């Protein structure tokens, strides 16, 4: 019996604004508990919501990137429920007039290209955070995140595999991070995903019982949870060992299973009603055009530019445009070194390997691009050799010191004086007769040995090209 | 005498002082809004209206007592207990007082104390720093002894506030009585239901100024519409009171749910709890369309009716009391102006007083009529 | 409205009414419900609901972060705080 899994996604993305959606508190991640809080987002009475213009703009951009219709007059509504992380006892969201509708995202998996339809995108405020104190048995509430603007992207149930889900999330992430909508970091919670999943016999038109999976904190967890839940559904259908009910389930990454959630979310009556404190927000054609023209270069646009204008390889271009951070480093370094192939090589080769050694993931690489540029230039201008260059880069990465000063103070300048090098080579050849014989017998690897010896004697500063040609000349 | 009217009193002279209902915030002082839930609440904010009055050189006399959160109540006779603001002004303890008159209590009671109450157009005065009752209807108004004084004070507090996006763009207002003659409308269906004394005051007034009869549409369903819409918003505006961030917290709890339910059951008075339950009731999935949505639609019809009325009349006169003493029914008298966000003035005319309502932003017409009425001798 | 229904709404709004109050509310609510049903007599076909009496659109705030009050002021009114957090009994996941 062949089964088909049918899935829809609700993705919450934290918008990259300076301040919160309805008050001027900082929306930045990482502050100490309740530092970014005012009477409004702490649930005190007396303040009134003031709509953040940039949040609306980012909502418009999210809609443009996903080919949605932008609603011209949007309104906000109140959704009522009680939970300690919800300071006012209601969430301001959009039920009746969401900002975007009827879009799509194109994804590509091993199985080919596909369009995932987007039902709607709406803007809403985030809740605070609860931290559990195991010693005292109490819960601690931090409202820093309460009121931070989110967009919720609701897809149609168009997904048929976890590969498609992952491709979609990566695509959203690429689009949104490049366009400045959000940094989409699942580990930091700026992108969250709930999966609605059901299973049916292949070829059937009817949908099976649907369950919702929450608490998916990484792409890996999503893939595992989809696999688990699909199996659970199939098993329930085939053996009847358990009854499938429409419910919300929580993924437990440790046990690798889903469990029904205690608070029956489906049964809650949220008593939605239009928010009279927030007047309708009008989105004009002019504003949409203005916003559209302000969208930074998107990954696929940049890919085109890197391959066509700069002649970078498909592999290199994909790597650079695969991460907003790497792409930014490329752009900024290009301001100092106008040589795209060199910059690409240094990033993909040297910088990437340094980051790996230091255990820093691509998105978190931080480097002063002016200094990076200086290193590249020094190598280009034969002030230092490539190997020294990489060592200096490593120090710039770790300690952010000025490479030119460092090279000068430590006298790392490249040794290219032919006379001096010829003397050195003669010395090394003379001291290693056996190796010379091996070379003459046909062992090319001896050149590396001699090169190593020269480098040792010059503390790595010799010009490798010069040494190579001298060696070849003298050994022939 | 003070204690009867004041929730908290400040040391001041009275000739240039104002009192605030205790739902209007003063930084560093208590703002209890007449509720146990806020019994120890010290606000870090100050209401814009307070800033403006203080900047104009007035002094704060104190905070006057209010019914819990100033909400419209239907079980107790809200109109029986005296408004702290009206009491304080009438006893000469302060010159003027500010209130949120969603319930109509101040409009009803001011004239009995020989006072005026000015209820401005919704959107005229900033609500920043006001503990909200019904957000789409709350508006701060002025209790005063002298109508010129009242409009002068309104001119000080009114005007756009960038901290309240629901205020009109006009930066400031300066009120001056408009010249008559005025076309006054008198609602016959309302007058039929009015109590005798109240009706007489209105008829006397109508007689002096001349008034044309009209039928106030939807009057019979105004209590329902008012109560349904109010309860939904009140229930929502008070869901933040949970004993977690500030305010009253029960001593009797073992887990989170108890904390919520015991705090909220102990902290609110019965009428408030009734309003909250009704609020949930009218917003529930089952009932939203028949009650809440329906009321919002009738509110629109009422507003359109008001537009039509005020194309014929400059102002409409209304009695202050119905024959039927039930507070629920009497709400209808104040609901017309409140639901439509219209300005109204209650004046101590005749033995009972009356209220005048004008089109939105036409306070000057009301001012003009009042001056005329004063001329005619109140 | 019967007592059972009142209890359903109580759960929604986090009340736990003593019996006498619950009865009183049930009584009042039933009368009000009857009164509310009068609304069906008004013809509202094709009428747009009115949410706010104001007829202008929302202003928009520039996206600048501003600190309004200190953390101490935020926590000052709290009945129970710990290390900068508001403290509540354990929530159940």
Task: Give B291-345 pLDDT, tens digit per residue.
Answer: 999 999 999 999 999 999 999 999 999 999 999 999 999 999 999 999 999 999 9
Average confidence (pLDDT) over C61-85 = 94
pLDDT of residue B8: 86
Residues B85 and B110: their CA atoms lie apart, in Å, by 9
Contact criterion met (CB below 8 Å) for B290 and C39: yes
Residues A412 and A460: their CA atoms lie apart, in Å, by 9
- List the chains bordering chain A where 3 or more Cβ pairs fall under 8 Å: B, C
Task: Indicate the residue of B33, B43, B236 with minimum beta-carbon distance to A90.
Answer: B236
Contacts of A87 in chain B (CB under 8 A): 240, 245
Residues C11 and B257: their CA atoms lie apart, in Å, by 10
CA A157 to chain centre: 25
Please say if the pLDDT value at position A265 is more than 80: no
Please say if the pLDDT value at position A170 is more than 90: yes
The mean of the pLDDT values for chain A is 93
The mean of the pLDDT values for chain B is 94
Q: Is B280 touching A (CB cutoff 8 A)? A: yes
Is residue C82 in a domain? no
Sheet containing A211-216, strands listed edge to edge, beginning at the edge strand earlier in sequence: A69-70, A100-109, A112-125, A149-155, A3-14, A191-201, A211-216, A247-252, A257-260
Q: What is the largest CA-CA distance in chain C?
A: 58
Residues B227 and A463: their CA atoms lie apart, in Å, by 88
Burial classification of residue A312, based on how many CB atoms lie within 10 Å of its CB (0-12 exposed, 13-18 middle, 19 or more buried): buried
Cis peptide before A77 (omega within 30 of 0): no
Closest CA to B72 of B293, B356, B279, B261: B279
Contacts of A27 in chain C (CB under 8 A): 65
pLDDT of residue B52: 98
- List the chains bordering chain B where 3 or more Cβ pairs fall under 8 Å: A, C
* pLDDT tens per residue across span B156-194: 999 999 999 999 999 999 999 999 899 999 999 999 999
* pLDDT tens per residue across span A461-474: 999 989 988 888 88
Closest CA to B101 of B74, B78, B76, B129: B78
pLDDT of residue A436: 84
For the record, the structure tokens of B187 come out as 């609602």
For the record, the structure tokens of A397 come out as 């990465």
Closest CA to A165 of A84, A206, A221: A221
Closest CA to B50 of B89, B19, B92: B19
Task: Indicate the residue of C56, C64, C75 with minimum beta-carbon distance to A19.
Answer: C64
Residues A27 and A54: their CA atoms lie apart, in Å, by 12
Interface of B with C in 279-338 (CB under 8 A): 279-282, 284, 290-291, 293-301, 303, 328
Closest chain C residue to A133, measured at CA: C90
> For chain B, which domains are there?
2-218+316-375 (3.90.1300.10), 220-302 (no CATH)
pLDDT of residue A416: 86
Contact criterion met (CB below 8 Å) for B88 and B6: yes
Helix (H) or strand (E) holding B193: helix B188-193
Percent helix / strand / coil, chain A, rounded to 5: 40, 20, 40
For the record, the structure tokens of A67 come out as 């080919």
Closest CA to B233 of B133, B306, B318, B160: B133
Does domain A418-475 bear CATH number 1.10.10.410? yes
Q: Is A22 touching B (CB cutoff 8 A)? A: no
Helix (H) or strand (E) holding B96: strand B96-100
> Taking each helix axis from N to C terminus, what angle separates B327-340 and B294-312, rounded to the nearest 10 degrees?
70
CA C16, C17, C23: angle at the middle one, nearest 5? 145
Phi, psi of A123, deg, nearest 5: -95, 140
Q: What is the DSSP letter of A175?
A: H
Contact criterion met (CB below 8 Å) for A261 and A250: yes
pLDDT of residue B375: 67
Lowest mean pLDDT segment, chosen from A38-52, A251-265, A311-325: A251-265
Global confidence as pTM? 0.90
For the record, the structure tokens of B376 come out as 């005619």
Q: Is B30 touching C (CB cutoff 8 A)? A: no
pLDDT band at B374 (very low <50, low <70, confident <90, very high): low
Please say if the pLDDT value at position A179 is more than 90: yes
Instruction: Give the C-alpha distances (Å, rounded to integers) separating C78 from A71, A383, B50, B243, C88.
Output: 41, 64, 25, 8, 11
HEC string of B143-173?
EECCHHHHHHHHHHHECCECCECCCCCCCCC
| Cβ within 8 Å, pair A82-B285 | no
Closest CA to B140 of B161, B122, B167: B122
Is residue C17 in a domain? yes
Cα of B260 to nearest chain C Cα, Å:
6
Lowest mean pLDDT segment, chosen from A291-305, A334-348, B2-16, B53-67: B2-16
* pLDDT tens per residue across span B75-118: 878 888 888 999 999 999 999 999 999 999 999 999 999 999 99
pLDDT band at A262 (very low <50, low <70, confident <90, very high): low
Is residue C58 in a domain? no
Is residue C64 in a domain? no
Is residue C75 in a domain? no
Please say if the pLDDT value at position B24 is more than 60: yes
The residue ranges of every structural domain in chain A are 8-195+246-253+260-285, 297-409, 418-475
B219-233 as b/e: b if 16+ CB within 10 A: bebbbbbbbbbbbbb
Helix (H) or strand (E) holding A104: strand A100-109
If one compares A235 and A134, the residue with the highest pLDDT of the two is A235
Is residue C16 in a domain? yes
Q: Residue A104 forms beta bridges with which residues?
A: A117
- List the chains bordering chain C where 3 or more Cβ pairs fall under 8 Å: A, B
Q: For C1-93, where are the alpha helices, taking DSSP H only? A: 3-13, 19-36, 71-76
Phi, psi of B102, deg, nearest 5: -55, -40
Helix (H) or strand (E) holding B51: helix B48-55
Question: Which residues span the domain enclosing C34?
Answer: 3-41
If one compares A323 and A90, the residue with the highest pLDDT of the two is A90
Please say if the pLDDT value at position A437 is more than 90: no
Number of domains in chain C: 1
Cα of A218 to nearest chain B Cα, Å:
30
Cα of C54 to nearest chain B Cα, Å:
7
CA B136, B139, B142: angle at the middle one, nearest 5? 170
pLDDT of residue C92: 66
Contacts of B232 in chain A (CB under 8 A): 273
Residues A12 and C7: their CA atoms lie apart, in Å, by 34
* pLDDT tens per residue across span C2-60: 999 999 999 999 999 999 999 999 999 999 999 999 999 999 999 999 999 999 999 99
Q: Is A55 touching C (CB cutoff 8 A)? A: yes
End-to-end C-alpha distance for chain C, whole angstroms: 33
Instruction: Give the C-alpha distances (Å, rounded to integers) separating B88 from A22, A123, B8, B22.
Output: 37, 47, 12, 13
Phi, psi of B142, deg, nearest 5: -120, 125
pLDDT band at B30 (very low <50, low <70, confident <90, very high): very high
Task: Indicate the residue of C16, C76, C78 with minimum beta-carbon distance to B262.
Answer: C16
Q: 């059951």: which residue's tokens?
A: B265
Q: Hey, of C52, C53, C85, which one would you mutate to test binding to chain A, going by the most A CBs within 10 A of its CB?
A: C85
SS3 A411: coil
Phi, psi of B244, deg, nearest 5: -95, -50
Contact criterion met (CB below 8 Å) for A34 and C74: yes
pLDDT of residue B15: 84
Please say if the pLDDT value at position C93 is more than 70: no
Burial classification of residue A217, based on how many CB atoms lie within 10 Å of its CB (0-12 exposed, 13-18 middle, 19 or more buried): middle
A356: number of Cβ within 10 Å: 11
Q: What is the DSSP letter of B70?
A: G
Contact criterion met (CB below 8 Å) for B170 and B159: yes
What's the complex ipTM? 0.96
pLDDT band at B11 (very low <50, low <70, confident <90, very high): confident
pLDDT of residue A274: 98
pLDDT of residue B157: 98
pLDDT of residue A188: 85
Q: Is A433 touching C (CB cutoff 8 A)? A: no
Closest chain B residue to A44, measured at CA: B240
Residues C39 and B222: their CA atoms lie apart, in Å, by 10
Q: What percent of chain A has pLDDT over 90?
A: 74
């Amino acid at each position: 019996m062949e089964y088909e899994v049918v899935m829809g996604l609700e993705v919450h993305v934290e918008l990259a604004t300076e301040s919160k959606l309805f008050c001027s508190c900082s929306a930045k991640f990482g502050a100490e508990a309740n530092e970014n809080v005012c009477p409004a987002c702490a649930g005190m009475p007396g303040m009134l919501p003031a709509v953040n213009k940039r949040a609306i703009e980012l909502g418009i951009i999210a809609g443009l990137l996903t080919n949605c219709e932008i609603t011209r007059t949007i309104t906000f509504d109140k959704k009522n429920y009680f939970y300690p992380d919800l300071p006012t006892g209601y969430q301001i969201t959009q039920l009746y007039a969401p900002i975007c509708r009827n879009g799509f995202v194109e994804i590509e998996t091993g199985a080919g290209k596909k369009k995932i339809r987007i039902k709607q995108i709406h803007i809403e405020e985030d809740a605070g955070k609860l931290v559990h104190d195991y010693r005292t048995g109490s819960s601690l509430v931090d409202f820093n995140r309460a009121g931070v603007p989110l967009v919720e992207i609701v897809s149609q149930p168009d997904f048929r595999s976890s590969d498609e889900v992952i491709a979609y999330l990566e695509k959203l992430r690429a689009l949104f991070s490049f366009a400045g909508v959000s940094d989409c970091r699942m580990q930091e919670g700026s992108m969250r995903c709930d999966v609605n999943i059901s299973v049916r016999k292949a070829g059937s038109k009817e949908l099976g019982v649907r369950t919702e999976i929450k608490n998916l904190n990484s792409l890996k967890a999503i893939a595992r949870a989809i696999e688990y839940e699909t199996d659970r559904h199939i098993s329930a259908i085939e053996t009847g060992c358990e009854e499938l009910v429409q419910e919300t389930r929580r993924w437990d990454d440790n046990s690798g299973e889903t469990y029904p959630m205690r608070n029956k979310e489906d049964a809650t009556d949220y008593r939605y009603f239009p928010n009279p404190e927030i007047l309708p927000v009008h989105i004009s054609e002019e504003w949409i055009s203005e916003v559209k023209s302000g969208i930074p270069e998107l990954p696929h646009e940049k890919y085109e530019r890197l391959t066509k204008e700069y002649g970078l390889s498909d592999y290199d271009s994909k790597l650079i445009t695969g991460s907003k951070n790497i792409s930014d480093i490329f752009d900024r370094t290009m301001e100092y070194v106008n040589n795209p192939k060199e910059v690409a090589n240094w990033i993909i080769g040297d910088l990437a390997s340094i980051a790996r050694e230091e255990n820093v993931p691509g998105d978190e690489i931080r480097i002063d691009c002016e200094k990076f540029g200086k290193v590249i230039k020094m190598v280009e201008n034969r002030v230092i050799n490539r190997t020294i260059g990489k060592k200096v880069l490593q120090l710039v990465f770790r300690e952010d010191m000025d490479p030119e000063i460092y090279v000068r103070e430590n006298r790392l300048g490249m040794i290219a004086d032919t006379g001096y090098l010829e003397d050195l080579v003669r010395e090394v050849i003379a001291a290693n007769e056996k190796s010379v014989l091996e070379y003459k017998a046909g062992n090319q690897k001896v050149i590396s040995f001699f090169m190593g010896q020269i480098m040792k004697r010059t503390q790595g500063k010799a010009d490798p090209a010069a040494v190579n040609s001298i060696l070849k000349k003298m050994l022939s | 005498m003070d204690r009867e009217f004041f929730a908290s009193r400040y040391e001041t002279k009275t000739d240039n002082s104002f009192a605030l209902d205790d739902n209007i915030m003063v930084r560093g002082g208590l703002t209890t809004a007449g509720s146990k839930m806020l019994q120890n609440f010290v606000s870090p904010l100050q209401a814009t209206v307070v800033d403006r009055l203080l900047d104009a050189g007035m002094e704060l006399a104190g905070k006057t007592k209010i019914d819990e959160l100033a909400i419209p109540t239907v079980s107790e006779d809200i109109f029986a207990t005296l408004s702290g603001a009206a009491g304080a002004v009438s006893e000469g303890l302060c010159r003027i007082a500010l209130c949120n008159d969603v319930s109509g209590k101040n409009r009803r009671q001011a004239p009995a104390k020989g006072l005026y109450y000015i209820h401005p157009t919704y959107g005229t005065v900033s609500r920043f720093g006001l503990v909200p009752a019904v957000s789409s209807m709350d508006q701060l108004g002025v209790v005063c002894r002298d109508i010129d004084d009242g409009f002068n004070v309104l001119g000080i507090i009114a005007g756009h506030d960038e901290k309240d996006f629901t205020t009109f763009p006009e930066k400031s207002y300066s009120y001056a009585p408009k010249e008559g003659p005025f076309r006054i409308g008198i609602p016959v269906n309302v007058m039929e239901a009015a109590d005798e004394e109240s009706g007489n005051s209105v008829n006397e007034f109508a007689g002096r100024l001349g008034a044309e009869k009209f039928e106030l549409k939807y009057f019979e369903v105004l209590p329902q519409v008012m109560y349904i819409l109010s309860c939904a918003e009140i229930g929502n505006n008070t869901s933040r009171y949970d004993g977690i961030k500030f305010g009253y917290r029960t001593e009797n709890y073992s887990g989170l749910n108890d904390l919520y339910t015991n705090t909220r059951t102990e902290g609110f008075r019965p009428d408030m709890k009734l309003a909250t339950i009704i609020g949930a009731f009218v917003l529930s999935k089952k009932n939203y369309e028949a009650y809440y949505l329906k009321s919002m639609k009738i509110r629109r019809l009422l507003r359109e009716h008001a537009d039509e009325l005020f194309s014929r009349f400059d102002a409409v006169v209304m009695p202050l009391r119905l024959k039927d003493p039930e507070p629920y029914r009497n709400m209808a008298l104040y609901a017309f102006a409140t639901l439509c966000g219209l300005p109204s003035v209650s004046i101590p005319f005749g033995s009972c007083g009356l209220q005048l309502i004008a089109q939105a932003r036409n306070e000057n017409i009301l001012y003009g009529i009042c001056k005329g009425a004063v001329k005619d001798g109140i | 409205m019967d007592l059972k229904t009142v209890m359903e709404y109580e759960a929604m709004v986090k009340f736990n009414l003593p019996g006498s109050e619950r009865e009183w509310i049930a009584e009042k609510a039933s009368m009000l419900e009857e009164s509310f049903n009068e609304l069906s007599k008004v013809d509202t076909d094709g009428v747009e609901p009115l949410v706010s009496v104001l007829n202008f659109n929302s202003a928009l705030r520039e996206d600048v972060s501003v600190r309004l009050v200190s953390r101490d002021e935020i926590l000052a009114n709290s009945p129970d705080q710990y290390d900068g957090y508001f403290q509540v009994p354990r929530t159940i996941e």
